[in-house]
Amino acid sequence: MRVAAILGAGGGIGAACARAAAEAGWRVVAGDIGGAAERAVGGLAHDPLALEADVTDEAAMGRLAATAAEAGEVGLLIYAAGVVGTMAVDRMDWTLHRRIMAVNLEGAFLAAAAFAPVLRPGGAAVFLSSVAGRRGEARASSYCASKFGLIGLAESLAAEWAPRGVRVCAVAPGNVDTPMLARVARDIAAAEGVTEEAVRERLRRAGAARRLVRPEEVAAVCVALGSPDFGAVTGATITVDAGAMVG
């Protein structure tokens, strides 16, 4: 059976990816911490598996890759783990900075290294970047740097894995209606002395479509990239932002 491994499966986008993959006929192997993976696969079809897996733990990534390989033919890897934080560069919380880099970027390297031997020819890996990985944002240097790095990783892996028939892409969402965005709105509101609702409205109107992106819309793109119909798409960054990059 085709297996889709989803890391960060308990988050808003990750959980949507798990649902979309199962609906598309994939057997989902989900990894996350704090029981989030188990919650994400509840009720999904095709006998999903859930593992406690910290993406910053090399051994945990190895166990997850081995479990996925035992579950079937691994044809799709989605890296959706992520941490956000807003802070000015001269007032950095270095513990938070290191956590952002470890989860958002270094964990992606660990996942890539673990899954490289088990991703089948014709398969695909998808890394969740962000529009913040395509342009800088004030008070978000750590987050932006990590997401820029993910795009670089995806492009490099696309070249490295092409001879094996494995495609690699990044997906860059805009403002997605998730708990993470709610936390960002709270942080911005506190920093600017405005209401969370005012910030949320600003975020909603940031794109040309004047709305937030739904997690399911991002997930649809991630899962579609695992299809043979997208066999010529590799090394690309797909933006799903309701027009945020064009205003």
**Which residues participate in catalysis according to the annotation?**
143
Place of tokens 């899962």: 223
User: Which residues, 6+ apart, have CB-to-CB distance to 6 below 8 Å?
Assistant: 14, 17, 18, 21, 28, 29, 30, 31, 40, 78, 80
- The residues pairing with 4 across neighbouring beta strands, listed in sequence order, are 28, 76
Place of tokens 């709105």: 185
d(CA 65, CA 191): 41
Q: How many helices (H) and strands (E) in the chain?
A: 9, 7
Number of Cβ atoms within 10 Å of the Cβ of 154 = 25
Q: Is the CA virtual torsion 196, 197, 202, 204 positive or negative?
A: positive
Structure token pair of residue 21: 């993959």
User: Which residues, 6+ apart, have CB-to-CB distance to 67 below 8 Å?
Assistant: 29, 49, 51
**Displacement of CA 139 from its chain's centroid (Å):** 21
What is the DSSP code (8-state) at residue 188?
Answer: H
Place of tokens 């990239």: 225
